Amino acid sequence: MKFLTRTIILLSVISLFTDLASEMLYPIMPVYLQSIGFSVLLIGILEGIAEGIAGLSKGYFGKLSDTIGQRRPFIQIGYSISALSKPMLALFSSVYWIFICRSMDRVGKGIRTAPRDAMLSAESTPQNKGKVFGFHRGMDTLGAVLGPAFALLILYFYPSQYKLIFLIAFIPGALAIISGFFIHEKQSAEKPKAYPSFLSFFNYLKNSRPDYKNALIPILLFALINSSDMFLLLKAKQSGASDLNVIVLYIIYNLIYVLLSFPMGALADKIGIKTTYAIGLLLFSLTYIGLGFCNQLSQMVIIFVIYGAFAAMNDGLAKAWISNTIPKEEAGTALGTMTAFQSICTMLSSAIAGFIWIKWGSEVLFFLTGGTAIIITLIIIGLNNLKPKRILHY
């Protein structure tokens, strides 16, 4: 794999450790929150607000990293904050404390995401960008396979000891912090004359290139319907899966994600990022419509396999798609703006999803989401007929 540089490998390893820590908690989080009195609506609001906070942070720190010409400090600080937030969840169980800890975790993600993605983009070329982002997402998601597996093992020996998992999750988080010190980056010779305001990235969207906007529109439309994965886990639980089965389903989803991330990135480099991304949305639609019908564990396994294939064609390829529309000196701002608005859309979609679930039931939520995804796929197919104004590799 000649495209792999030392920096790409390091960033991927750091993401692996961090996701291992996060995903030890993610599949048990909805069950834990319900056990301490959280309703489905409150879970949706909590996740949505946390994503909204992260979103605004992503836009600002992406812009700031472009301004000062440095990525490494944001990567190190961001991963450190997220690692420290996890054991704090074990201390208290009040709504306010859970909100503070989840917000800390998301702010850490907001600080590091755009600078990290900009560094990955700088280490790649338009011809191998799908493979680079696919490899990184694969390593990141490998942590999402190992994390729930460790959580499952802990729950097997210590049933219902959720707080113990929060404490153990600090170990891989600490390894991520240590790994961050090995990243090398050239120091910027010039000091910025002025620093951006917190919401300055909004101006970038207004003044950005047409091909950047053409890529951003369907990505954000999809984010408006792509609510938290916790709703899929809650739906599986509602359909009869046990707590352990829910975790197993999540492991299966992430395992497929890991196995297919790099191949899907390579496929995107061959047939086009937009085309591969659109195929992924069709799989997303199939997942949601299928989960609205299913009530057997064997059916759920198939659906979570399909969902893993979708994920391998989504997040990493969206970043590769966007980064191919902008010059590298704007990478932090452009990627930060995209992920900022994605998080804001996710904040809205998670809150709306929780409301629809309570008001009309989970089936309506899943059928409506799946149908809307098909419409967005048609929009992307239409964009394939538009010629980008900057000749870059799609």
Nearest one of 339, 279, 10, 69 to 189, comparing CA atoms: 69
* Residue-range domains of the chain with CATH: 6-180+204-383 (1.20.1250.20)
Q: What is the dihedral of CA 314, 320, 321, 323, to 10 degrees?
A: 140
Nearest one of 177, 233, 188, 211 to 29, comparing CA atoms: 233
Tell me the pLDDT tens digit for each residue of 138-173: 898 888 788 878 888 888 888 877 778 888 888 998
Cβ atoms 54, 179 nearer than 8 A = no
Q: What integer pLDDT is reported at residue 35 of this predicted model?
A: 73
Q: Return all residues near 46 (Cβ < 8 A) that are at least 6 apart.
A: 33, 38, 98, 99, 102
8-state DSSP, 158: S
Tokens of 67: 């301004």
Task: Assign 307 a pLDDT band (cuts: 50, 70, 90).
Answer: very high
Could you give the percent of the chain with pLDDT greater than 90? Answer: 15
The total of other beta-carbon atoms located within 10 Å of residue 37's CB is: 10
- Look-up: residue for tokens 């908690």? 25
The answer for 69, left when phi > 0, alpha when psi is -120 to 50, beta otherwise, is left
Cβ atoms 3, 124 nearer than 8 A = yes
* Higher-pLDDT residue of 148, 323: 323
Residue 281 pLDDT > 80: yes
Tokens of 314: 């989504």
Q: What integer pLDDT is reported at residue 391 of this predicted model?
A: 37
Tell me the pLDDT tens digit for each residue of 107-126: 898 899 889 988 988 888 88
Tokens of 353: 């999803």
Residue 302 pLDDT > 70: yes
Cβ atoms 238, 356 nearer than 8 A = no
Mean pLDDT value of segment 232-254: 83
**Nearest-angstrom CA–CA distance, 392 and 212:** 11
**Nearest-angstrom CA–CA distance, 63 and 257:** 30
Q: What integer pLDDT is reported at residue 392 of this predicted model?
A: 42
Q: What integer pLDDT is reported at residue 241 of this predicted model?
A: 82
**Nearest-angstrom CA–CA distance, 251 and 348:** 27
Residue 284 pLDDT > 90: yes
Residue 334 pLDDT > 60: yes
Highest-scoring range by mean pLDDT, 37-41, 134-138, 289-293, 304-308: 304-308
Task: Assign 388 a pLDDT band (cuts: 50, 70, 90).
Answer: very low
Q: What is the rounded average pLDDT for all residues in the chain? A: 83
Q: What integer pLDDT is reported at residue 58 of this predicted model?
A: 83
- Among 191-195, 215-219, 240-244, 377-381, the range scoring the smallest mean pLDDT is 191-195
Residue 235 pLDDT > 70: yes
Could you give the percent of the chain with pLDDT greater than 70? Answer: 92
Q: Return all residues near 54 (Cβ < 8 A) that are at least 6 apart.
A: 106, 107, 109, 110, 113, 343
Mean pLDDT value of segment 208-218: 86
- Among 14-28, 103-117, 186-200, 312-326, the range scoring the smallest mean pLDDT is 186-200
Task: Assign 175 a pLDDT band (cuts: 50, 70, 90).
Answer: very high
pTM over 0.85: no
Tell me the pLDDT tens digit for each residue of 64-99: 888 888 889 999 999 999 888 878 877 776 777 877
Task: Assign 337 a pLDDT band (cuts: 50, 70, 90).
Answer: confident
Residue 385 pLDDT > 60: no
Q: What integer pLDDT is reported at residue 288 of this predicted model?
A: 92
Nearest one of 341, 320, 50 to 223, comparing CA atoms: 341
